[in-house]
Structure 1
Amino acid sequence: MSLILCIRDGLCLVRLIPSLRSFTYDRDELVDETGPLRLDFYERAAAELTKAGVECAFRERVGENMYVARYCPAPPFEVIVKNVANGSTTRKYPGLFPDGQPLPRPVVKFDYRVDPEDQPIGEDYLRALDLPVDAMRAQALTVNDVLRSWLAPLEIWDFCVIFGLDAAGGLSLISEVSQDCMRIRHPDGSRLDKDLFRDGVSGAEIVAQWKRAFDGI
């Protein structure tokens, strides 16, 4: 979770709240060290993505949990890229793929962000709102390529991002990129992401495992 504190001259100050939430497993807790860890990861990921030509809202870190970003209004949609069948894929579409099976190519889907649980939404609804669906899909796949190359030999099973539109209609990645919004696996198979929280692991163990994601970066 993040909180926009102020907006000025096209920039905003964002504070990360060290909260972990899972609707599916009905858990909602504060784990203090996860805030700085998320921003550590996001700061590095934003640098890699920017180098690859992906416009990121992130501008600079200004504190343990705070950063300055270019302000773009957030649409109520997120884009999910899946490289492995897991989570909502096997839960909502039982029988299509075995859990944990690598997909033959990345799958991109869109979710409507609504409480209490995000819902899959057909792309034509987004087109009816004049959103650049094809551009968002292409940019999400570029993000996938960059992150997989940067983090190898860690495996990215899936992630979600949010793209905003600037005044000229250009895309900007406005959501954080961290273990809070992706599934990452160590080469030994261990989990380095929020699935640990979903499984009821202690906060101290979550922090210890999240730190392992930085070993090869």
Structure 2
Amino acid sequence: MARRKKIYEGKAKILYEGPEPGTLVQYFKDDATAFNAEKHDVIEGKGVLNNRLSEFFMTGLNTIGVPTHFIKRINMREQLIRSVEIIPLEVVVRNVAAGSMSKRLGIEEGTQLPRPIIEFYYKDDALGDPLVTEEHVIAFGWASQQDLDDIVALALRVNDFLSGVMLAVGIKLIDFKIEIGRIWEGDFMRLIVADEISPDSCRLWDIKTGQKLDKDVFRRDLGNLTDAYTEVARRLGVLPSNVTHATKPTLIN
């Protein structure tokens, strides 16, 4: 069995040293967390589904010219990705009021927004990933004004792509979160979509019934999370034929 060095472990994924310089192996765990990890469970098969769904979305983005860190899927739980310098922001695109926006602004969930609204959250679990403004981002050096312009452009292109894909299978894209990374090609730096795109990072509602097909099922105890994610995968035609646990690689310190 391959021996790999663990680079980083988050709430839902593990990053291992990749086979080539500038690459990493991203492993999708079955852990489900909510409310800044105050709620936690292990959901059989969740990592397999998120790996396949993120592959589907990232491949689609690459195909239409939106650059991502995704290179290829390795197996049921792992994918090969480009190593990037993550900008410490969660970029949230909202099409419909829901979740924290509804609570914060007193807007009823399900209210269609007049246009997509982009929000930035500073990535810091200890602080609860606080909402920040563009002024904060620039003042503290997390990104430049040009970076922010490029991030907004990327986020809106991702929104257009995901909205269309979901609409075609009877799902409404309520909102989603992405992360952006920097890569260097010689002296040239560019920004690419990183992390993952899956029902963990999107709000997805059935167009006809309003049924939630995302992590709100876990957050709000609305049913079986795997069933919800499986339904998304089934509609998109990416349902894995055998959802099982994959063995974790042996680690070295």
Aligned to 1:99: 109
Deviations 1:112-171 (A, max 9, x none): 011241100111222232431111011101000001111213101000000001112211
Deviations 1:1-20 (A, max 9, x none): 11111144111111111111
Aligned to 1:118: 129
Q: 3-state SS of the aligned residue for 1:103?
A: strand
Residue 184 of structure 1, aligned match among 200, 204, 226: 204
Task: Specify the code of the residue in structure 1 equivalent to 2:26.
Answer: V
Q: Does 1:150 align with 2:165?
A: yes
Whole-Å separation in 2 of the counterparts to 1:150 and 1:90:
25
Residue 109 of structure 1, aligned match among 104, 116, 119: 119
Whole-Å separation in 1 of the counterparts to 2:195 and 2:75:
18
Q: 3-state SS of the aligned residue for 2:203?
A: strand
Residue 53 of structure 1, aligned match among 59, 62, 65: 65
Deviation at 1:201, TM superposition (A): 4.1
Q: 3-state SS of the aligned residue for 2:125?
A: coil
Aligned to 1:29: 41
Deviation at 1:199, TM superposition (A): 1.2
Q: 3-state SS of the aligned residue for 2:32?
A: strand
Structure 2 stretches lacking a partner, 5+ long: 1-11, 237-253
Whole-Å separation in 2 of the counterparts to 1:60 and 1:24:
30
Q: 3-state SS of the aligned residue for 1:189?
A: coil
Aligned to 1:140: 155
Structure with greater Cα Rg: 2
Query: What is the root-mean-square deviation in Å for CA atoms of aligned residues?
Result: 1.5
Structure 1 stretches lacking a partner, 5+ long: none
Query: TM-score, normalised to structure 2's length?
Result: 0.80
Whole-Å separation in 1 of the counterparts to 2:37 and 2:27:
26
Contact 2:49 / 2:233 at 8 angstroms: preserved in 1? no
Contact 1:25 / 1:198 at 8 angstroms: preserved in 2? no
Contact 1:151 / 1:216 at 8 angstroms: preserved in 2? no
Whole-Å separation in 1 of the counterparts to 2:17 and 2:84:
13
Contact 2:36 / 2:125 at 8 angstroms: preserved in 1? no
The sequence identity of aligned pairs, in percent, is: 25
Task: Specify the code of the residue in structure 2 equivalent to 1:159.
Answer: F
Moved more, 137-146 or 119-128: 119-128
Q: 3-state SS of the aligned residue for 1:163?
A: strand
Whole-Å separation in 1 of the counterparts to 2:32 and 2:104:
22
Q: 3-state SS of the aligned residue for 2:221?
A: coil
